[in-house]
Homo-oligomer: A and B are copies of this chain.
Amino acid sequence: MQNKGAILILSGPSGCGKSTLLKEIYKNISNYYFSISTTTRSPRVGEKDGVDYYFVSKDEFEKDIEAGNFLEWAKVHDNYYGTSLKPIVEALNDGKLVIFDIDVQGHKIVRKKLNSQVTSVFITTPTLTILKDRLYSRNSDSSDIIEKRLSNAKEEINSFLEYDYLIINDDLEKSTKEILAIANIARAKTKLFDKESLVGYWSK
């Protein structure tokens, strides 16, 4: 049997340690494809096209919506954000593990559209207080932005049951072991296999 492509979705509030766990996946897992979002917002200092985002014009984005080229998209304030379907489908056909770092809304849509291929994990700090401490101590955002992030986090935690796995990130070693385990078995989901062809091949 051929190796199957699969989708791994990571969600969790800013400050939960998601980026650190993503790095562990990149270091330890082979044959993955990290999904890059497309946006109409301007690049911030240091952001690169094709690395952080695909930066496109509003016109291009709207044409792609019309053409049905997005797996999911949303308009946030005045900017569009979305995930192009084509590179995802290509990576899946190549047997890759396609990794998404998206929010609760994005997860809901991808899950709905590509359910049998998705394994998803919600990552969180043990408590809101710890999240707050982390966000303030890393000193990279204004308190307005931090309070906005905390209020989003309070909302998003309510959706954890829509995910397959929950990582309560209180111990980096334990969490790393868990995220690598999840990534390592995402391609072994029975739902990825077509019953008729598997049983047919097996019975020969």
Question: Across the interface, do A190 and B202 meet the contact criterion of CB distance under 8 Å?
Answer: no
Number of copies: 2
Q: Which residues of B contact A184 (CB under 8 A)?
A: 177-178, 181
Partner-binding segment picked from A17-25, A103-111, A134-142, A158-166: A158-166
Q: What is the distance, in angstroms, from A24's C-beta to the closest C-beta of chain B?
A: 14
- Cβ-defined partner of A163 (8 Å) among B157, B180, B190, B198: B190
Q: Which residues of B contact A128 (CB under 8 A)?
A: 202-204
Chain B, Cβ-Cβ closest to A131: B202
Q: What DSSP secondary structure best describes chain A's contact surface? A: helix
15 A-B contacts (beta carbon < 8 Å): A122-B190, A127-B201, A127-B202, A128-B204, A154-B203, A157-B199, A157-B203, A158-B195, A160-B193, A164-B189, A165-B188, A166-B188, A182-B185, A182-B188, A185-B185
